[in-house]
A and B are shown apart, each in its own frame.
Chain A
Amino acid sequence: MTAATTEVRAGRSRKARTSGVSRHAYPLWFYLPAAVLFLVFFAIPTFASFYFSLTRWTLFDQEFIGFENYVQFFREPQLYQGFINTLIYGFLTSGLKVVIGLALAVLLTSALVGRHFLRSVIFFPVLVSTIGVGIMFKALLDPFDGMVNGALETLGITGPGWLTDPDLALYSIIGIDVWKGLGIACLIYIAGLVAIPTEYYEAARVDGASKWAAFKSITLPLVKPATGTVIILSLIGGLRSFDLIWATTGGGPGFSSDVIGSVIYKQYQAGFYGLSTAGNVVLFVVVTVIMVPISLMLNKREVEQ
């Protein structure tokens, strides 16, 4: 009891001392510019979106219609498909970036010949704009003249219409997305791998552990923070994706590769601002419901370590 009170007192006096210094040295108005921008261009639009999604809205005029936009969003097959595609897109790109990114990072931190060259090469697509990448792959994946199908043809395989086949288009874009974003995932993993002390691996080798066993019980658990970062970054990016899809297929053929991001833009373009904003709220809910538990879970693990 007495020990506890002295501790509290000590804590209090320490706190008093630092805040005495900080009041002079660390002015709270440093928050002000960021706070104003954030409030005006992020918080207000976000809150307003909940209201506007319940209206028939033309920017000048709005009429409250309740949940009609949402009903329409989930009842019309082409809008609903965008919702499903968003989930496929987000989880598949994220999963592939984790698996391939880790595998490549392991390869590139080993004593591989030419690893510095490989690191720069893999990072290169990150620098090209998504629109540029989209146009490039439209040419490469062209079903008749494209290089990819040309190469397949020399092997005696008739290549599919990567971006023109409704069953395939979404997955082709997922492939392009992974190609473009792999560099960042790999970079984060390399940083995580380099931080693991080499003694661990030496000890494992002395104990006669196989390479796979060392990977499973040393590497995997110790790169968890990096995995968390990769998952969070690629899921957020994947669920919000818009520009790559817009540059390659525009959501087509039909609505087969539409995601919520492209549905929002199409409705906006057509002047259905209320419906477009409802799409935004759906995206908001999807991202929040998926991201908040995942980031909480990943943070907890990091603390336990």
Chain B
Amino acid sequence: MEQLLERILATVEKPSRYVGGEWNSISKKWDQAEVKMAFAFPDVYEVGMSHLGMQILYKVVNDRPDALMERVFAPWVDMEEKMRAAGLPLFSLESRRSLAEFDVVGFTLQYEMSFTNILNMLDMAGIPMRSSDRKGDNPLVIAGGPCGFNPEPLAPFIDAFVLGEGEEVINAVLDVYLAQKQQQCSRRDTLSALAGVEGIYVPVFYQFEYKQDGTVKEFKSDSLVPTVVKKRVVADVNDVPFPTRPIVPHTDVVHDRMMLEVMRGCTRGCRFCQAGTIYRPVREKDPENLLAQAEELVRSTGWDEISLTSLSSSDYSGISEVISGLVDRHSSERINVALPSLRADAFSVELAKEVQRVRRSSLTFAPEAGTQRLRDVINKGVTEENLMEAVTSAFKAGWSSVKLYFMIGLPSETESDLEGIVSLARRVLEAGRNISRSKGRLRVTVSASSFVPKSHTPFQWEPQDSLIELQEKQRFLKQRIKGKGLTFNWHEGQVSMLEADLARGNRDLAPVLERAWALGCRFDGWSECFDFSKWEKAFECFGIKPGDYALRRYSHEDVLPWDHLDAGVSKKYLALEHKRALDGVPTVDCRGGKCPGCGICPSLEINTQLVGGKSVEPVQDLL
């Protein structure tokens, strides 16, 4: 294998993706680990290595004396072609063993458009693609991550899904596996033992019959498993094992810097945002803890930038304290601090000013919608004044480039909302012209992604705009957002439509996925690989069309394909939020102290944790 591999590495693009050996990577002795797990990332190395979740699980598993974890990424198309031609199986970076030799293979589900890569990776390792075809010595194939909250299109391929935060569940999975192995249990017994673990969903024990419209007609679950699987979260984020010795890639990856996670969850409650629900409640880490972890990270990695990560880092209560602490301790070593997600207000720009002594990159804000009316619909608590204050202080501070993120196709959107995007962009540019000292370099970039309805959000019932509508809206904006200093970017509508199909789909989509893979679909999130005609063909084989799930409106009374998967949020609350959205009524942020009653805290029996031991009293039952 080694020799064949070397020959191949000599001829592929970016061979360092496949060789491993990075600083802080861990190569344990194969035979000394009783349970061997592979972390499988269904995208290229550069994307996978930028994922904090992988670094966390890598630490948790490798900290166990009885276990090892190795990494595997999706080989880029050139590498796949050569590996298949040479008969090489998909292998792990650490010990270069086939994925099929591991006891447990865990995929992370970050993005619907990487689902075909999962099938491809199983195939490249010679692991039977369908769970029902796997035998005793095949690995146990598990998966978790945000898309795990509606994993139904993948249900036949994955033995068990993990709902919620993996660092606790993973130990339980490995323990169950070891116990079952000792007792030489059957595969079926192992699966039913797993189904007994909180936060684990074993799809084979749940049967569905669907109505014509894709909603659930009949649902049966095995008597021994819970009818509803509830997500699991860690109770105290300060206790959680944090990877202070993460793997440092050699090659330029997407996030090539230290990632210091300041909190989990977000309280803002934007109505389109799935992350906002599935990572709740908010749990903030202690500033002292963060500073100590940063110190260790600096020493162990050699990176020159610390990124304060979370869904909305400028909301973190200890943000000023942590930033000034980091600047005090590490600026003499020329270490930068980065804030990846900025709220659109003057406070956030103040923070950015503090950490970026040199204004080299642009600042990004996400007003999401062009008018106050529509921002109220989606509960984006940002006003035009907030945004103008933010960009004004950014231009004053020396930034000359600003990026604005919007979403098109949101429920109730009309032409005036699109006009709002145009006029907002022009106002920002105008402000830049009045203030900025480097007028020549002034640039306002508007990015418009398409709204994708997701499970466990108030918009889970809403249809997506049709492809024609989305394309018309893109054209509308493209014609108006142009000229000196203005740039307009948009996402391919077809990709968003398939993303919505998979995000709101059911098990009937599994054979479609399988067919799409067989027709050659891979890396569907990469424009150079995406081929819509193959997807159309795959859908057609089963008498449906792309968009059939995306464009459907579900009703509040329907049983949804993911109703057996509980993110903690009450469905009644989501329905209420949906109604409030259409009435344009905003909902308060529970960080302010008043709980609007999403139900997550009581359901998971964990309260919001803020810096300094503060919390929010949750409403027990609002409805």
Q: Do A and B come from one complex?
A: no
* Chain B residues proximal to chain A, CB less than 8 Å: none
Chain A contact residues, CB within 8 Å of chain B: none
